[in-house]
């Protein structure tokens, strides 16, 4: 085992019981086992899906649990078996915390669908801490010269939008609409523009029009003034609508805004919504969902963001204000990030 100088204990904030607040926890240092590395956390994004840790949204959650799956840090310790990651290297990890390599999905390389997928901050301790132990297959390199606080949200919010956009059937210069200009949406507009799409921002008021156009939106549609689906059809229809705001009533009304053969891609964790199934037939429409991605996807996302100057808008919080950061996860402009 090799390591940089490190303390015998370190601080973290975690949930110690279902539904409880974040509480300070002190951990004893543990050397990494084969297949793991220990990372000194530089930044950890706060994501809405961290609620799964607090409320045991995944039944396998065990308390205490340290949340956080948008992790950027420096490699602090590696086992003697490690051949890829080096001490001091800046790396990151997201929702996907590792895979079994043996199930049907893993055997065809679809690791995000692993039947025994590990999840950072949900099934294993995450990044609301000074140090975190990560599985090596769930880690990717972070390019030099990037702000860890801005990079951290790319490991969930960013890769979700990046991966969703590149895995749908739309092709530049198709119209791509981004529903919701928030934590995911403000990144989605930038990614869509950089990929060569004609980006349309869909929001519920006029408040974010100037920002959306600065980010790269060609068109801004204020849902408080016009029917957004009709507005999209006036443009010929969107080939793809990426739904980032968890409002099922709004999402279902967007289906008529698609062009022939268009796709409605839901990336927001939301509830049920009745839809007109007949419209799927008559216009060959599709409704799809998309999760985030595995380490190679995140690495592609981060590299793309650096090359194209895509920036995450963040609000920073020190580790000792983790509870405040968590409570601001939906109101921060646009991603709350903990800086240990």
**265 preceded by cis ω (within 30°)?**
no
- At 89 the pLDDT is 98
| Bridge partners for 119 per DSSP | 96
Domain range annotation of the chain: 2-156+292-339, 160-289
279 pLDDT above the threshold of 90: no
What average pLDDT does the chain have? Answer: 97
Is-contact 41 340, C-beta < 8 A? yes
Return the H-helix or E-strand segment holding 2.
Answer: strand 2-3
Residues 6+ apart with CB under 8 A from 230: 256, 257
Cβ–Cβ < 8 Å for 158, 72? no
Look up tokens 């429409």; give the residue: 285
Q: Per the structure block, which two tokens stand in for 256?
A: 């008529």
Mean pLDDT computed over 243-251: 94
Q: Is the backbone peptide bond immediately before 121 cis, with ω within 30 degrees of 0?
A: no
Q: Is the dihedral of CA 52, 53, 59, 60 positive or negative?
A: positive
- What is the model's pTM? 0.96
In 3D space, the residue among 65, 92, 82 whose CA is nearest the CA of residue 154 turns out to be: 92
3-state SS, residue 222? strand
Task: Specify the pLDDT at position 316.
Answer: 98
- How far apart (Å, rounded) are the C-alpha atoms in residues 155 and 303? 12
Residue with tokens 């509480």: 23
CA distances to 13, 109, 113, 160, 283 from 296, in Å? 28, 12, 15, 13, 35
pLDDT tens by residue, 70-127: 999 999 999 999 999 999 999 999 999 999 999 999 999 999 999 999 999 999 999 9
Residue 229 has pLDDT above 90, yes or no: yes
State the average pLDDT over residues 17-43.
Answer: 98
CA separation for the pair 329, 340 (Å, rounded): 17
> Is it the case that residue 144 has pLDDT exceeding 90?
yes
Question: Encoding tokens for residue 301?
Answer: 């996302």
Cα 90 to Cα 29, 87, 270: the distances in Å are 20, 9, 34
Closest listed residue to residue 189, CA positions, set 204, 199, 203: 199
Was domain 160-289 assigned CATH 3.40.50.720?
yes
**Closest Cα to residue 253, out of 233, 281, 282, 269?**
233
Fold of 2-156+292-339: Quinone Oxidoreductase; Chain A, domain 1 (3.90.180)
Mean pLDDT (whole number) for 241-248: 95
Q: What is the pLDDT of residues 51-62, one digit of tens each?
A: 999 999 999 999
Distance CA 42, CA 73 (A): 5
pLDDT at residue 269, as a whole number: 86
Fold agreement (2-156+292-339, 160-289): no
Contact call for residues 158 and 140 (beta carbons, < 8 A):
no
Reported as a pLDDT band with limits 50, 70 and 90, residue 46 is very high
pLDDT above 90: residue 330: no
Contact 202, 178 (CB under 8 A): yes
């Amino acid at each position: 085992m090799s390591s940089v100088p490190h303390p015998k204990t370190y601080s973290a904030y975690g949930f110690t019981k279902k539904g409880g607040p974040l509480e300070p926890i002190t951990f004893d240092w543990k050397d990494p086992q084969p297949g793991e590395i220990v990372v000194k956390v530089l930044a950890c994004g706060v994501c809405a899906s961290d609620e799964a840790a607090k409320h045991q949204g995944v039944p396998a959650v065990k308390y205490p649990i340290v949340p956080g799956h948008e992790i950027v840090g420096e490699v602090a310790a590696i086992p003697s078996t490690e051949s890829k990651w080096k001490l001091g290297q800046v790396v990151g990890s997201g929702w996907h915390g590792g895979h079994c390599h043996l199930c049907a999905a893993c055997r065809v390389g679809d690791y995000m669908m692993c039947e025994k997928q590990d999840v950072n901050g949900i099934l294993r301790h995450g990044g609301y801490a000074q140090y975190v132990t990560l599985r090596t297959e769930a880690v990717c390199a972070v390019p030099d010269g990037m702000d860890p606080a801005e990079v951290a949200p790319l490991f969930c919010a960013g890769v979700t939008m990046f991966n969703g956009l590149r895995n749908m059937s739309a092709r530049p210069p198709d119209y791509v609409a981004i529903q919701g200009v928030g934590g995911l949406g403000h990144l989605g507009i930038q990614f869509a523009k950089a990929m060569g799409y004609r980006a349309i921002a869909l929001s519920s008021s006029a408040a974010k029009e100037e920002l959306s156009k600065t980010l790269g939106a060609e068109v801004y549609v204020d849902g408080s003034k016009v029917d957004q689906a009709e507005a999209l059809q006036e443009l010929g229809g969107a080939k793809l609508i990426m739904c980032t705001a968890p409002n099922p009533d709004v999402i279902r009304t967007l289906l008529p805004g698609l062009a022939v053969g268009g796709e409605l891609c839901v990336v927001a964790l939301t509830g049920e919504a009745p839809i007109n199934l007949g419209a799927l037939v008559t216009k060959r429409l599709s409704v799809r969902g998309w999760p985030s991605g595995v380490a190679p996807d995140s690495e592609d996302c981060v590299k793309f963001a650096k090359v194209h100057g895509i920036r995450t808008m963040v609000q920073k919080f020190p580790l000792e204000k983790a509870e405040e950061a968590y409570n601001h996860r939906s109101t921060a402009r646009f991603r709350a990030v903990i800086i240990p």
